[in-house]
Chain A
Amino acid sequence: MEKPLLEVKDLAVNFKREEGFFKAVEGISFKIWPREVVGLVGESGSGKTAASLSLLNLTSSRGKVGGEVFFDGVNILTLPERKLKKFRGRQIGVIFQEPMTFLNPVLTIGVQIMEPMVEHWKISWGQARERALYLLSEMGIKDSERRMKEYPHQLSGGIRQRVMISMALACSPRLLIADEPTTALDVTLQYQIIELLRRIREKTPMAILLVSHDLEVVRELCDRVMIMYGGRIVETGGIREIFKDPLHPYTRSLVEVSPSFERVAWRLPGEDAPFSYQSNIPAGCRFQHRCSRVSRECKGAEPSLKEIGGKGWIGNSFSFHRQVRCWKYQEGALEKDEKPL
């Protein structure tokens, strides 16, 4: 059996604010195997972006990252910045959600695509240029010669996101973190980018962590999905299982309001995404205020992430667990009364 490419243990991210520490991510653990495409789904404020950025210690100076992140067996969070840089961009590429603000406005896109190669591979700009042109045409950008000399503001949203992807792929990383790669785009473009990612996924041996609030996007691309709520993973499972048989009430509501591909923004019933300041984290399950099936024990203690059923399979080599964090599926409180939909 292969070793996992990425193993995250008990990852926590705290942001220092004037009001106190804001726990964006609390004790999440997961693994990603080579070639696997994993979705990390949650609404805004659920901590999914913080979780993905913290894997490379990219959170701002006010963010404190705890826990362990093993990449290929190396705990990269304990590495000095100097060594950690060798992972960033080279082993792990990142696509950000808003290409307009995540691209430097005063540098040509050519420079921005070439610079990680020049940095990591110590090749000349001329050599890097060859590959950049190749990457751009791979991304379906015509006239890549001319595009290389253009600046972000001269490009359309779709092209910008393709540039962003080329940048992330420049050094052929083994893991790609895609943080909401389609959110900022309109629907047709979303579809094109998803197609693009799908093609990349087929052509390269790279693993992908797709961070999104959009279950539909995840469904298009992923093998497996992790649902986050309030800084915690609340459910994991294979993509088909999740859609067929969502266990956690939150997952269930996500699946329910996610009928079609056209829907861009949605909102859950209940209040806005909770701010989980240390002072006002509720005792018990974090979803209790918005849960339609809340019971007494939900208000008592927080349920643990519980494995349900056996291992699932993707491809032929790796296994995963179906997990859920809900009192209904805890030992002794297993559901007898109702079967999930």
Chain B
Amino acid sequence: MYPFFSRRIFHAIIVLLGVSLLTFVMMNLAPGDPYHLDPELRFNPEAVARWKELRQLDQPLHVQYFSWLKNMLQGDFGISLVHNKPVWELMMERVPATLLLTGTSLLVSLLISIPLGVFSALRKGSFWDQVISSFTLGGVSIPNFWLGMLLILFFSYHFKWLPAAGMRTVGMEFSLLDYLKHLLLPTVVLSVASAAYFIRYVRAGVWEVIQQDYIITARAKGLGDMTILLRHVLRNAALPLITVISLHLPYLFTGAMLTEYVFSWPGMGRWIVSATLSRDYPSVMAINIMVAFLVTLFNLVADLLYASFDPRIKYR
């Protein structure tokens, strides 16, 4: 177990270093400079020099990179060049909303895809299986942006049932229902593609498992359908699904960026876009490191879950 972990952590560190270096180089190669935001500053070389000096941007690139690395290792992601505020704070202000949205969507898409996928596999070739299959095809091909606008048009503009923007009604007492109403449409948008994607894997996984000999054994024991499904089928079908979910999370995250824009959701999305456009190097570095870190972390968690679901897997 420990050798496995230390090896994985070692790999993760290499990956994170690579990501940070690549991001750093790409950011500096891209045209533009953070001080461009101030049009007057742009034409005042003296002020620009002073501005850069105060932020240590006048030093050679490798010095900048290593000092960034040193600070990052001490948990200091630096100060945003645009917001003049610790990047860590900027991130923490925005992470909860994104996590709420992606977390709910992941949950909802699993809640939708597992029953539908199982149903589809058990009734393979039936009318409803075909209905579900066409839904998955549609679901993965509908662009988030378009679906979001469509839902807003119907549910907010036409029927006036649901709000078109934000996370809550401003100026109102806290109300769970109000939060849920705001959460509903973005969650639907973000869940549709993921659910459609997951359904395919659940269906294929369950279909494969129910062909297995040990399912005949379970039936021969006279177990109830639900017991067979939950104890024998799903536990086995969960294995490939765990991998699929962990590989899908970055896509969910990317999808959330667009969805956040459409529904004016106060998450990471806007910050990521604006930080990139304004060449806010420390923010961009921190975001990339964070995303790379999360992806690595999820892969590790997936491996652990794998082991806990499948006793045949042992990490050494």
Which A residues form the contact surface with B (CB < 8 A)? 53, 56, 58, 60, 85-90, 93-94, 96, 98, 101-108, 111-112, 115-116, 119-120, 151, 153-154, 167, 170
The contact of B312 among A89, A101, A119, A153, by CB within 8 Å, is A153
Determine which of A88, A93, A96 lies in contact with B213 in the assembled complex, contact meaning CB atoms within 8 Å. Answer: A96
Q: Are B227 and A115 in contact (CB under 8 A)?
A: yes
> A105 and B216: CB pair below 8 A?
no
Contacts of A170 in B (CB 8 A): 221
* Pair B312/A88 contact, Cβ less than 8 Å: no
**Majority secondary structure, A binding face:** loop
Can you list 28 pairs linking A and B with CB atoms under 8 Å apart? A53-B216, A56-B220, A87-B222, A88-B220, A88-B221, A89-B221, A90-B222, A93-B220, A94-B217, A96-B216, A98-B213, A101-B213, A102-B214, A102-B216, A102-B217, A103-B217, A104-B235, A105-B214, A105-B236, A105-B310, A105-B312, A107-B231, A108-B311, A119-B224, A153-B311, A153-B312, A154-B311, A167-B217
| Structural contact, A103 and B214, CB atoms closer than 8 A | yes
Q: Give CA–CA (A299, B222) in the complex, Å.
A: 44
How many inter-chain residue pairs (CB < 8 Å) link A and B? 81
On whether the beta carbons of B235 and A106 are closer than 8 Å, the reply is: yes
Task: Tell me whether B55 is interfacial, beta carbon within 8 Å.
Answer: no
CA distance A112 to B224 in the complex (A): 14
CA distance A111 to B232 in the complex (A): 11
- Given A101-B213, A105-B312, decide whether A115 and B231 contact each other with a Cβ distance below 8 A: yes
B305 at the interface (CB under 8 A from A): no
Q: How many chain B residues have a CB neighbour from A under 8 Å?
A: 22
**Main SS of the interface on chain B?**
helix
Residues of A within 8 A of B227 (CB): 115, 119
Which residue of the partner chain A has the closest CB to B311? A151
> CB within 8 A of B222: which of A103, A105, A111, A116?
A116
Q: What is the CB-to-nearest-CB distance from A96 to chain B, in angstroms, rounded to a whole number? A: 6
Taken together as a complex, chains A and B put the C-alpha atoms of A119 and B236 apart, in Å, by 21
| Interface presence of B14 (CB below 8 A) | no
Which of A60, A98, A116 is B223 in contact with, Cβ under 8 Å?
A116
B219 close to A (CB within 8 Å): yes
Q: Contacts of A107 on B, CB cut-off 8 Å?
A: 231-232, 235
Q: Cβ of B221 and Cβ of A104 under 8 Å apart?
A: no
Cβ distance B171 to chain A, nearest Cβ, rounded Å:
53
